[in-house]
């Protein structure tokens, strides 16, 4: 059974950092591009970043470029999102999803507030 399980969310002050993890199981993780998508409270879905199967290619939304870093460890079947210089507008539930968009994690809530 395919599973994506996020962890690492929480409350952080503006300017702080947080790292989200997405543990994958039930499929050959290294064969798939992976994505992060976020959803601010009461708002719509926004694409954040993607990474290819071997980690050599990444893309970011302009709103997070230079502050967020996506990475992966295929030996550990884990995807990460390192978030630095966090702002109030980064407050959202963050989802990981595989490229076919058929499986998503349950979401991790990140709250940026003083």
Residue ranges binding another protein (CB under 8 A): 35, 44-47, 50, 59, 61-62, 95, 100-102, 104-107
Shortest distance (Å) from residue 92 CB to another protein: 13
Residue 104's contacts (CB-CB under 8 Å, 6 or more residues apart) are: 4, 37, 95, 96, 97
DSSP state of 33: -
Length of the chain as a residue count: 114
Whichever of 33 and 78 has its CB closer to another protein, that residue is 33
Shortest distance (Å) from residue 100 CB to another protein: 8
Shortest distance (Å) from residue 72 CB to another protein: 18
Only one residue has tokens 């979401």, namely 107
């Amino acid at each position: 059974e395919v599973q994506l399980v996020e962890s690492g969310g929480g409350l952080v002050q503006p300017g702080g950092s947080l790292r989200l993890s997405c543990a994958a199981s039930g499929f050959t993780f290294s064969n798939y591009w992976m994505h992060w998508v976020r959803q601010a409270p009461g708002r719509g879905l926004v694409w954040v970043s993607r990474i290819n199967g071997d980690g050599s290619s990444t893309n970011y939304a302009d709103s997070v470029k230079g502050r967020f870093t996506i990475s992966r460890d295929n030996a550990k079947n884990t995807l990460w999102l390192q978030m630095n210089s966090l702002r109030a507008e980064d407050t959202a539930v963050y989802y990981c999803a595989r490229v076919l968009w058929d499986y998503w994690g349950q979401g991790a809530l990140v709250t940026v507030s003083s």
